[in-house]
Amino acid sequence: MTEAPSDFSLLVSATAVYLNQGDASFVRAGRITAGWPHSLASFDFDHDGDLDLVMRRMDSPGISVFSNDGAGSFAEDQSMGFPATVRGTKCLGAADFNRDGWIDLAVLVSVSDNPQLTQDWAEVHVFQNHEGTFGLEQTIVIGTLKEPPQDMVVFDVDGSGDPDLVVTTSLLREEGNPMGVMRVFVNGGTGRFGPAREVLRPANLYAAVPAAAADFDGDGAEDIALPGAILFNRSPRPHSLDANRNRIPDECEGTPFHRGDPNGNGGLDIADAIYLLGYLFGDGPEPSCMESGDTDNSGRIDIADPIGLLNYLFAGGDSPAPPGPVESECGADPDDPGSPGDLGCESYEPCKG
């Protein structure tokens, strides 16, 4: 038998980070030595624009988050510490469950792997991200240990715009042959999930398998793939979506845009003020999105709009009215369609797609 290297224990308890040089080559940037890593996933948990790492660990606390300094170096963020009850983690799922702009985390825990817990069932722990700090929002009981969990995927099952949870488990039948069970937990729109909706997998499929979600048939609904089968999603789709939750169907809202970008180039600078002055007092073109030129949302474009832009850019003046300048999310005009304050927005390219 070949003798194990003397640094074997160090190798298995460290995670190496390799940076892509852009030419199909990688350079080692460093290593993370905390914990006994089992698997990794990358998400921007602290909302700074850099991808961070979440580690599924085989030791306590079970999960650790490592913040990216922007140059590819990672340090464990103790402020995001997770309770020891997530030891025995089977898999992780991350998404903005409550649609507040911060990535949340769902953790599938096999209680049989966690001696600190006495309940004989499996659970999903849902942690909501409160501007960089995670708090336990909900604990979902999956089932008894006769139904051991195998995998969890996160995707929008019902087409509501909210990410849901799908957990696959094994159901041990009396004859000893496992039959897979999929449990769907639908997101109520606030990041909390309703009771399970069970979907039995075909009995001839081995139960202990991973699952993957994608729109395999191109109908706009994500499906489930398992080794040996694809389950197509035939859930009834909602007639209307309300992505911003203002109780107005999305198709009834106007064109999304940014206020203060009348030239429609996706930026806000002195050229926008000059564009408005040319439109008002020269032979300049009309903005393709008139509402973007009405920076104060007064219901008309006048000299106050370029002056307001210049004050905002160079004198600390008020920000353009909602939906806000280009630094803000795209949005529709708050004025009712056809009302006196509605100037219209025929098109605004930066907010398309």
d(CA 146, CA 280) in angstroms, rounded, equals 74
Using a 10 angstrom Cβ sphere, with 0-12 exposed, 13-18 middle and 19 or more buried, the burial of residue 253 is: middle
222: which strand partners? none
Tell whether the torsion through CA atoms of 55, 57, 63 and 68 is positive or negative: negative
Residues 6+ apart with CB under 8 A from 68: 48, 50, 51, 52, 53, 74
pLDDT, tens digit (0-9, with 9 covering 90-100), for 85-108? 555 677 888 999 998 889 999 888
- Please state the φ and ψ torsions of residue 107, each to the nearest 5 degrees: -125, 120
* Tokens standing for residue 242: 């309300």
Confidence of residue 285 (pLDDT cuts 50, 70, 90): very high
Q: Which of 35, 28, 30 is nearest to 54 (CA)?
A: 35
CB 107 within 8 A of CB 139: no
pLDDT, tens digit (0-9, with 9 covering 90-100), for 32-70? 776 677 777 888 888 888 888 888 776 666 678 888 888
- Ramachandran area for residue 143 (φ above 0: left; ψ -120 to 50: alpha; else beta): left
3-state DSSP call for residue 194?
A: coil
As a whole number, the mean pLDDT across the chain is 79
d(CA 324, CA 230) in angstroms, rounded, equals 44
* Tokens standing for residue 323: 């939906």
* Tokens standing for residue 9: 């224990």
Q: Between 46 and 207, whose confidence is greater?
A: 46
d(CA 102, CA 310) in angstroms, rounded, equals 32
Distances (CA, A) of 314 to 258, 273, 294, 308, 309: 19, 12, 19, 10, 9
- Percent of residues, the chain, with pLDDT higher than 90: 27
Residues 6+ apart with CB under 8 A from 2: none
Q: Which of 55, 115, 129, 122 is nearest to 87 (CA)?
A: 115
Confidence of residue 169 (pLDDT cuts 50, 70, 90): confident
